[in-house]
Amino acid sequence: MPYFNMSAEQISRAMHELIPGGNHTYSKGDDQFPGNAPKVMARAKGAYCWDVEDNEYLDWAMGNRVMSLGHANDHVDTKVFEAMRLGANFTRPGILEYELAAYLTDHWPCAEMVKFGKNGSDVVTAAVKLARAYTGRPYVLVCGSHPFFSIHDWYIGSTEMNSGTLPSERPYTLKFIYGDRGSVEAAFADYKDQIAALILEPVKNDSPYADPRPSDLTQSGMNRNGDNTGNFLQYLREKTEAEGTVLIFDEMIAAMRFGSRGAHHHYGILPDLATFGKAISNGYSCSVLAGKREIMDLGGITHDRERVFLLSQTHGSETVGLAATLATMRFYNEHNVEDHIWSIGRALKAAVTDTARAKGLSERVRIIGFEANPQILCFDESGAFSSTLNTLFHQYMIEEGVLIPWITITHAHRMAEVDRTAEALDRALTQLESAIAADAVDRLLLGPAQKPVFRKYN
């Protein structure tokens, strides 16, 4: 027992005594994983990680989707160490702020100006504030089909887990359904000239086209050669322009899945504002708000309009995150990581689909979504998502040394990792098939089934 003469179980229990939730991200909580999941991690490199008891796991999750190049990428870490030696935080603006801002405004089509933060919530909430200031309107229309936008009250107040938020703020966050034009039209009709912003992830698991085709989820077919006829994102662009509403794309996940220029570049649809983070800095802390100058500059100090307190953070310009972002973006583009991610995703989707079919589980275990951003889900006999079956599936995959609660393909994942996963799938699905046949799914779980993060009570 190398850590504090304690077992992983003992450390985990101690962490719950010291830290609410036992960690700092709800999606990493014990209630999100099977009972045999590794309790506490110690190190990671490339596509692999090790817990405090030195058990090795093939890691498809990559933290909370924060890697694009793999754990502890040597190139990024070298650039980070160089920046650290020159100073982590300055009294006046640092040169890295200029260098990264210049790179991103040249690289992202939507970015005329940028502002840096440390996490997604920072910049998403800043985007909402800008939209309200720019339009003079109170309401925000968010995509209810997407799970999370911010830790701040304007969003959390609209969820089941809204204790501690002001009831007076909750009515100002409205929701629509991805791909459902009727839900958007209804919101704008009910709140005419009152909606400041519409925010969504441009793509998640579904094609934005009204007539989805299998090819929409592939690299070559996702944007239909620039034909946006029937594209929900194009509809939103036109609708928000007509309504005088700010269109915000949350590209926290999409940006490095669908290329470093983001999904808005793939589809050729420019939002007014966009937010980026997670894998842009390969595990280090950096997020970015980008957008049109006429909106972004409301947070500046050189205009004569009413001022907006946009983002003013002690660590917003900390050099480690900025250096990591610049190094990650450059490496990603110089090594054509986008094509690699799509290629590995294509192979992984085929492996899961073929194995499930061979086991007679095609309707129970599916890998959905884009090749660059797939997700494995388990379903009951009625076709509804089954948290219990899903938990048992991941329990069996963890027994095989594979962590795949969600999928974040990186430059470090190669065909060897796909092959290892396919072998693990073969054994895991054999066990899952037997469990279903014996009506023993609940009995075979080593702990409770996964629970939704956003729930009223534990």
| CATH class of segment(s) 8-72+337-438 | alpha beta
In this prediction, residue 2 carries a pLDDT of 61
Per-residue confidence band for 220, with pLDDT thresholds at 50, 70 and 90: confident
CB 402 within 8 A of CB 56: no
- pLDDT tens digits, one per residue of 330-351: 999 999 999 999 999 999 999 9
Question: Measuring CA to CA, which residue among 274, 237, 266, 259 is closest to residue 105?
Answer: 274
pTM summary value:
0.95
In the sheet where 56-59 sits, what is the strand order? 41-45, 48-51, 56-59, 402-403
- pLDDT tens digits, one per residue of 113-151: 999 999 999 999 999 999 999 999 999 999 999 888 998
Question: What is the C-alpha separation between 156 and 446, in angstroms, rounded?
Answer: 31
Question: What is the C-alpha separation between 255 and 263, in angstroms, rounded?
Answer: 6
| CATH class of segment(s) 89-317 | alpha beta
CB 330 within 8 A of CB 282: no
Question: What is the C-alpha separation between 336 and 63, in angstroms, rounded?
Answer: 22
CB 282 within 8 A of CB 76: yes
454: amino acid identity, one letter: F
Ranges of CATH 3.90.1150.10 domains, the chain: 8-72+337-438
Q: Phi/psi at 48 (nearest 5 deg)? A: -130, 155
Is a pLDDT exceeding 70 seen at residue 24? yes
In this prediction, residue 169 carries a pLDDT of 80
Alpha helices by DSSP H, listed for 144-220, are: 153-156, 181-190
Percent of the chain with pLDDT over 90: 89
Residues 432, 434, 438, CA angle at the centre, nearest 5°? 120
Is a pLDDT exceeding 60 seen at residue 186? yes
- pLDDT tens digits, one per residue of 2-14: 677 899 999 999 9
Question: What is the C-alpha separation between 118 and 126, in angstroms, rounded?
Answer: 12
Q: Phi/psi at 27 (nearest 5 deg)? A: -70, -10
CB 260 within 8 A of CB 107: yes
Is a pLDDT exceeding 90 seen at residue 452? no
Question: Measuring CA to CA, which residue among 145, 126, 94 is closest to residue 277?
Answer: 126
Ranges of CATH 3.40.640.10 domains, the chain: 89-317
Tell me what the pLDDT averaged over the chain comes to: 95
Is a pLDDT exceeding 80 seen at residue 446? yes
Question: What is the C-alpha separation between 128 and 187, in angstroms, rounded?
Answer: 17
